Amino acid sequence: MFYEKSNTGKRSGWIEVICGSMFSGKTEELIRRLRRAQIARQRVEIFKPVIDNRYDQEKVVSHDDTSIHSTPVQTSAQILLYANDFDVVGIDEAQFFDSELTNICNKLADMGTRVIVAGLDMDYLRKPFGPIPSLLASAEYVDKVHAICMRCGNLAQYSHRTVDKDGQVMVGELESYEPLCRQCYQDAMK
């Protein structure tokens, strides 16, 4: 996707959302799109929440160890402050941001920025997660990606928490979560 000119001659912005369960390739796809924008000589910046420090404090890193430099921020409002003069803005782990993220993304898109957001659409209890549902409603483009069920090999769309800990937000990896299909998730919750 490259920039289109509107009939007013101004650059047109939009929002793309990449969502799905853990281990479905969301971050990998985000990085791929941002690298393509860099190849096209577009000015690119990526943001991630400070809370996501699993692999690196400043890089966005996928599970397959692909990485790209990012700017960690505490709140979505900081994204708007730092996103001046960029053609493309990427946001990883969007589910961890506050509810203002949708407004921030819309402001950026209204200013002519391509905004690419990646995040979990559901938490470990299959409930909508953070600002993602609102972003899905606002986005021009939505891609739902799937993992492989760790129990049966079918497509997985749920992030099953394997440790006994309450609370919606818990940053973790394979030691704490497994991707499951609908049937295996239901079996695991019994």
Buried b (16+ CB within 10 A) or exposed e, 75-88: ebebbbeebeebbb
Q: What is the CATH number of the domain that holds 45?
A: 3.40.50.300
Number of domains in the chain: 1
pTM of structure: 0.87
For 37-63, the pLDDT digits (tens) are 999 999 999 999 988 666 555 656 555
Backbone angles phi, psi at 33, to 5 degrees: -65, -40
Q: What angle do CA 48, 51, 38 make, to 5 degrees?
A: 15
Three-class SS state of 64:
coil
Task: Output Rg (C-alpha) for the chain, integer angstroms.
Answer: 17
For 13-25, the pLDDT digits (tens) are 999 999 999 999 9
Owning domain of residue 129 = 14-145
Q: Which of 16, 28, 29, 93 is catalytic?
A: 93
Domain membership flag for residue 61 = yes
Is 100 designated active site? no
